[in-house]
């Protein structure tokens, strides 16, 4: 709890764009003092200033999770800045599209280190601080890709997200005695800046939307609202679970036009 403002405290990784940016904005407007990290200082400072101008509490911390010692430094700066840490949201991730034959070992390690290994290191460094909270929470942003579905060209990404779910379950068991719950949110097709660029070809976005039963793509707010619930004191009896937020995308046995 942030003593100065009486708000729960949260660190969100990968918070300068896309889903992460949506989570930062949402939690900052829902009674959280927010620290968020990313590599884009200009975007990070702009978002921090935007939230502060609206009366929220936010602090951007420039960080590259793959650099030696960066995770411990990030956790320490967060606790120093906010005064405590109640919630860790690990959202940072990369998803370069590469055919299996072209993936080098360096490519593999880059994706696994960014998406999965950093989640382990963050949890390890944050756990002692989360244990001091009345209701410590870890929330991983996973994906339907890997745990539930597969996409050609995303072998390393799929493996990393499947690994996140395994990490989540193991941590849920180990950290329960410390009062920390560990859960995940698995987004389906969420309309972000990156997705808009990926589906820029005329008609492609409409064709993807047609296979989603609720009739629309998701928004970062759809993910953020789910994160807020899992991070809340009301979710204390939920742990080791990944909530799929996909508008029903993974339910039909056969997808496509009827």
Catalytic residues: 157
DSSP 25-43: HHHHTTTEEEEEEES-HHH
Helix pair 70-82, 118-130: axis angle to 10 deg: 30
CA distances (Å), 125 to each of 34, 85, 199, in order?
Answer: 18, 11, 38
Q: How many Å apart are CA 257 and CA 197, to the nearest integer?
A: 24
* Nearest CA among 228, 223, 241 for reference residue 168: 241
Q: Which two tokens stand for residue 62?
A: 């420039």
């Amino acid at each position: 709890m942030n003593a100065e403002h009486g708000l729960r405290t949260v660190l969100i990784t990968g918070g300068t764009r896309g889903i992460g940016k949506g989570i930062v904005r949402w939690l900052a407007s829902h009674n959280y003092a927010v620290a968020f990290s990313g590599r884009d200082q200009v975007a990070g400072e702009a978002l921090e200033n935007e939230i502060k101008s609206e009366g929220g509490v936010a602090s951007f911390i420039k960080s590259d999770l793959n650099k030696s010692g960066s995770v411990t430094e990030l956790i320490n700066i967060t606790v120093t800045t906010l005064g405590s840490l109640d919630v860790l949201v690990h959202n940072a991730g990369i998803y370069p599209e590469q055919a299996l034959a072209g993936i080098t070992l360096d490519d593999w390690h880059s994706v696994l280190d960014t998406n999965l290994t950093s989640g382990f290191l963050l949890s390890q460094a944050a756990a002692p601080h989360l244990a001091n909270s009345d209701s410590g929470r870890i929330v991983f942003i996973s994906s339907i890709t890997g745990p539930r579905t597969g996409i050609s060209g995303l072998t390393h990404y799929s493996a990393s997200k499947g690994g996140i779910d395994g990490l989540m379950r193991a941590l849920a068991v180990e950290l329960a005695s410390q009062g920390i719950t560990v859960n995940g949110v698995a987004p389906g097709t969420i309309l972000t800046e990156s997705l808009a660029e990926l589906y820029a070809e005329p008609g492609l976005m409409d064709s993807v939307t047609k296979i989603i039963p609720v009739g629309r793509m998701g928004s970062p707010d759809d993910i953020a609202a789910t994160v807020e619930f899992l991070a809340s004191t009301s979710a204390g009896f939920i742990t080791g679970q990944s909530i799929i937020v996909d508008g029903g995308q993974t339910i039909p046995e056969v997808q496509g036009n009827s």
